[in-house]
Amino acid sequence: MSDSTLPASRLRESLGYLNWLYNPFHGLDASGIYDLLATSSPTERGLYFNLGYWREATDLDAASDALAMLVGETAALDPEDRVLDCGFGFGDQDILWAQTLKPRHIVGLNITGSQVELARRRVAKLGLDGRIDLRLGSATDMPIDSASVDKVVAVECAFHFRTREVFLREAWRVLRPGGRLVLADIVPAPAVSGFPARLEQRISWRLVAGKFAIPPQNAYTRPTYHSKLAVSGFEQIRVESIREHVYAPLHRFLAEHPQTLARLHPMARLPARLALRFEATSVYRGLDYVLASAMKPQQLLGRSRRRP
């Protein structure tokens, strides 16, 4: 790279952040966001882009691993399993599952080309490319045969999918009967009453949904999430809120370890620091965080799948 291309690419990147975060009339699609974020993950040892599960974790890397393990263990990943992981980021979770829960095979789909490329290199470097196959592709149009996988998982990404319902139909199609679907996902919080809580709730959801490419069709609360799974043909459905182990402890950790934010692009640090000046209750008032799991019925004979 020549001396003049480096500042030019930095300038382009800064303008990209400026436009994304500070221009109220501009948003990016999901792959545009993750291309821009590139490898500026706030984690220290890995390249996760999730908020973490803080029930026992005391740092962001451990919390991100814990969220991946929560999904992997809820899906009961085991050495017999063929797994489909949608929205795998840089593949950290797949590497972790391959090393701990040891599923037979993992196929990953991700729409962000820059992430797919680096994730594939990371997996190959660890000699795991025979067991983890990471591909460019969308969770809403899966290049996967019907009834060919045992588990479908998605760690903190289904809110992006256009739409989550299309993804649920695809997940149902590719799962074998008796296969399981597990998601860690962000949805709007149940409505609160009174001022200013109601206003905070709206602002909080709109800011996140607007800047993080969440289509309006995915903005429904837990009970509707449950019924969308049921209408898609799933059984044994659980949609549990784990928000108390996500937002407030993350906020507390960042307030106590502001140096973590130094790993973000300078343009992204400002809104992150501003958010830390407010109480977690206000900042995250509009957001719920769910762990959802469901099973494709064992017996499909004699049943027609219910369609939305």
Ligand X SMILES: C[S@@+](CC[C@H](N)C(=O)[O-])C[C@H]1O[C@@H](n2cnc3c(N)ncnc32)[C@H](O)[C@@H]1O
Q: What does the DSSP 8-state code read for residue 19? A: H
Q: Is the sign of the CA dihedral 221, 222, 227, 233 positive or negative?
A: positive
Return the range that interacts with ligand X (CB under 6 A); candidates 150-158, 173-181, 226-234, 295-303: 150-158
Of the residues 17, 20, 21, 50, which one makes contact with ligand X according to CB under 6 A: 50
Interaction mask 12-41, ligand X, x per CB under 6 A: ------------------xx--x-------
Residues 155-174 that bind ligand X (CB under 6 A): 155-157, 160-161
CB of 212 to ligand X, least distance (A): 8
Applying CB under 6 A, what is the total number of residues that bind ligand X? 25
> Torsion-angle region of residue 178: left (phi > 0), alpha (psi -120 to 50) or beta?
left
Which two three-digit tokens encode residue 20?
Answer: 């994304």
286 contributes a contact to ligand X by CB under 6 A: no
Alpha helices in 257-305, H assignment, sequence order: 266-276, 280-283
Q: Which stretch binds ligand X (CB under 6 A): 13-21, 43-51, 98-106, 121-129?
A: 43-51
Residue with smaller CB distance to ligand X, 168 or 200: 168
* Binding residue (CB under 6 A) for ligand X from 103, 131, 138, 251: 138
Cβ closest to ligand X, residue 150 vs residue 156: 156
Closest by CA to 98, choosing from 114, 113, 82, 116, is 82
| 57-116: contacts with ligand X (CB under 6 A) | 86-89, 92-93, 109-112, 115
| Minimum CB distance to ligand X, residue 90 (Å) | 7
Spatial separation of the C-alpha atoms in residues 108 and 187, rounded to whole Å: 23
N residues, the chain: 308
> How near is the Cβ of 86 to ligand X at its closest, in Å?
5
CB of 40 to ligand X, least distance (A): 13
d(CA 161, CA 32): 14
Residues 6+ apart with CB under 8 A from 161: 86, 87, 138, 139, 140, 167, 218
**Most distant CA pair in the chain: distance in Å?**
68
- Is residue 65 classed as helix, strand or coil in its secondary structure? helix
Task: Provide, rounded to whole angstroms, the least separation between the CB of residue 30 and ligand X.
Answer: 4
Q: With respect to ligand X, which residue has the nearer C-beta, 31 or 293? A: 31
Residue 277: CB minimum distance to ligand X, A:
24
DSSP code at position 304: P
Which residues, listed in sequence order, are joined to residue 54 by a DSSP beta bridge?
none
When the beta carbons of 139 and 239 are compared against ligand X, the nearer one is: 139
Q: How far apart are CA 8 and CA 257, in angstroms?
A: 32
- How far from 198 is each of 104, 205, 308, CA to CA, in Å? 47, 11, 30
Interacting residues with ligand X (CB under 6 A): 30-31, 34, 48-50, 86-89, 92-93, 109-112, 115, 138-140, 155-157, 160-161
